[in-house]
């Protein structure tokens, strides 16, 4: 499959945008490392520009027929935050909603606090909590920021909530009831919602 076929795809009537393969984590459960990748092989050789994505959306999709436009892809989307802002403005101009699935390390990755900007362009900020403390998080997610990544992620969530963002922390159901209860308490402590999702 050519790169341009991998930039935009549809799952469950939502449109997904694949802007990058880059990621500051190397999560053990990441779909990127499955032998048979879910949704097909979405590795891209070249990252698309915002204009590439808008061109695809404009010519191939009637956004009113879909749910959210989700920045997700095969890496951490905030590496491409400038593009996200531009694409979001286009999506909003069509009356559609935006969501981002992020590891919450975007401000650290970009070396600037992006929380004020992200709450302005993204309707739902979905942050993968993954674990209930720094040690467990590092053991699963292997961030380039080591055990600091957990606090970086929670601080990002807290700041987004403070600035009026609709923030959802997500965990997978396989972590067990005790861990889910702890995750709920963490979400509450930063003012976010919690989503317990099935492991793919």
- The binding site for ligand SF4 (CB under 6 A) comprises 23, 25-27, 30, 32, 75-76, 103, 141
Cα–Cα distance measured from residue 68 to residue 122, given in angstroms and rounded to the nearest whole number: 10
Tokens of 4: 């341009």
Eight-state DSSP code of residue 104: S
Least distance to ligand SF4, CB of residue 169, Å: 14
In terms of DSSP bridges, do strands 167-172 and 69-71 run parallel, antiparallel, or are they unpaired?
unpaired
Reported in sequence order, the residue ranges of the chain that DSSP labels E, i.e. its strands, are: 8-11, 14-17, 69-71, 98-102, 124-128, 167-172, 193-197
Nearer Cβ to ligand SF4, position 63 or 84? 84
Nearer Cβ to ligand SF4, position 32 or 162? 32
Least distance to ligand SF4, CB of residue 132, Å: 17
Phi/psi class of residue 13: alpha, beta or left (left: φ > 0; alpha: ψ in -120 to 50)? left
Nearer Cβ to ligand SF4, position 68 or 96? 68
Nearer Cβ to ligand SF4, position 19 or 57? 19
Least distance to ligand SF4, CB of residue 187, Å: 18
Least distance to ligand SF4, CB of residue 105, Å: 8
């Amino acid at each position: 499959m050519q790169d341009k076929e991998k930039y935009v795809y549809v799952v469950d009537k939502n449109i997904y945008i694949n802007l990058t393969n880059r990621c500051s984590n190397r999560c053990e459960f990441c779909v990127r490392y499955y032998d048979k990748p879910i949704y097909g092989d979405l590795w891209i050789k070249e990252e698309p520009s915002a204009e590439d994505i808008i061109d695809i959306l404009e010519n191939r999709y009637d956004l009113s027929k879909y749910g959210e436009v989700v920045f997700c892809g095969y890496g951490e989307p905030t590496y491409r935050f400038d593009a996200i802002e531009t694409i979001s403005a286009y999506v909003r101009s069509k009356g559609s909603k935006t969501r981002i699935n992020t590891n919450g390390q975007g401000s650290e990755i970009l070396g600037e606090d992006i929380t004020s900007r992200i709450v302005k362009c993204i309707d739902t900020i979905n942050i993968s909590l993954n674990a209930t403390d720094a040690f467990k998080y590092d053991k699963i997610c292997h961030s380039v920021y080591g055990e600091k990544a957990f606090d970086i992620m929670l601080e990002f969530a807290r700041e987004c909530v403070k600035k009026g963002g609709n923030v959802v922390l997500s965990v997978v159901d396989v972590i067990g009831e005790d861990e889910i209860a702890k995750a709920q308490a963490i979400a509450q402590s930063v003012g976010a919602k919690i989503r317990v999702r099935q492991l793919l």
